[in-house]
Amino acid sequence: MTKKLLIVEDEESIATLLSYNLKQAGYETIVAHDGQTGLHLAVEEQPALIVLDLMLPQMDGMEVCKALRQQKIDIPIIMLTARDDEVDKVLGLELGADDYMTKPFSPREVAARIRAVLRRTEHAAPEEPETDRLTIGGLEVFPSKFEVFLNKKPLEFTPKEFELLVYLMENRNRVLTRDQLLSAVWQYDFAGDTRIVDVHISHLREKIEENSRKPQFIKTIRGLGYKFEEPKPV
């Protein structure tokens, strides 16, 4: 079945170019030129993925992303920004975007990013054993239920944060490089921006660590990457 993609972009030339190239790549596309229409189409059409511009009339991309996540709609989102602004990228990721790209970009790269995100979501729900539970210290994770508890208290995560946490816990006590995490969790088939990994690690620490500046679960291994381990008793 042909996958349907939603492009929310107010610049008609960019929207037309993206739509043409994605159709050539085998996708069905629908296009919105403002945030409000984009949000409506996302809810009504339930596309496989949304390419979402940041600067939009009526509702900007941040508002659209936030509204979708508040409604528990977990459609993957690739956010487009005209500025190479770290604040925009971090905020977009915090609101639940799965990836971001800075204009100008090549349609070929957009298609590659889309393939990577869709490949990840298609394989995001493998068959789980009955004993589907990961436990380290006071942290309990139930992958098939999308549930996390810290000392019996429930925690909220975006889909990407949750997937990263599960992967770290499944590979406890192993040093994982940023490139390994980018490949395993984001499934990029090309060199990606490893800052995405650092941002998500920071989010996890804020949620599971008693003191995010002195992490006990997720340790930074200088010059190498990260390691997830059980906190040492005080």
Instruction: State pLDDT tens for residues 165-191.
Output: 999 999 999 999 998 898 888 876 555
Residue 184: predicted pLDDT: 86
What residue ranges define each of the domains in the chain, with the CATH number in brackets? 4-122 (3.40.50.2300), 134-228 (1.10.10.10)
Note the pLDDT tens digit of each residue in 110-148. 888 898 888 876 655 444 444 578 999 899 999 888 899
Residue 86: predicted pLDDT: 58
> Phi first, then psi: what are they for 151, rounded to 5°?
50, 45
Residue 130: predicted pLDDT: 41
Report the distance separating Cα 66 and Cα 69, nearest Å. Answer: 5
Average pLDDT over residues 17-34: 94
Average pLDDT over residues 27-41: 96
Q: Which residues on neighbouring strands pair with residue 148, listed in sequence order?
A: 141, 155
Note the pLDDT tens digit of each residue in 52-61. 998 999 999 9
* pLDDT value at 96 more than 50: yes
What value does the mean pLDDT of the chain take?
86
146: left (phi over 0), alpha (psi -120 to 50) or beta: left
Residue 234: predicted pLDDT: 60
Supply the angle between the helices 35-45 and 61-70 in degrees, to the nearest 10: 30
* pLDDT value at 163 more than 70: yes
pTM here is 0.60
Whether 35 and 60 have beta carbons less than 8 Å apart is answered as yes
Whether 181 and 164 have beta carbons less than 8 Å apart is answered as yes
* pLDDT value at 87 more than 80: no
Q: What's the per-residue H, E or C state across the chain?
A: CCCEEEEECCCHHHHHHHHHHHHHCCCEEEEECCHHHHHHHHHHHCCCEEEEECCCCCCCHHHHHHHHHHCCCCCCEEEEECCCCHHHHHHHHHCCCCEEEECCCCHHHHHHHHHHHHHHHHCCCCCCCCCCCEEECCEEEEHHHCEEEECCEEECCCHHHHHHHHHHHHCCCCEEEHHHHHHHHHCCCCCCCCHHHHHHHHHHHHHHCCCCCCCCCEEEECCCEEEECCCCCC
Residue type (1 letter), 39: L
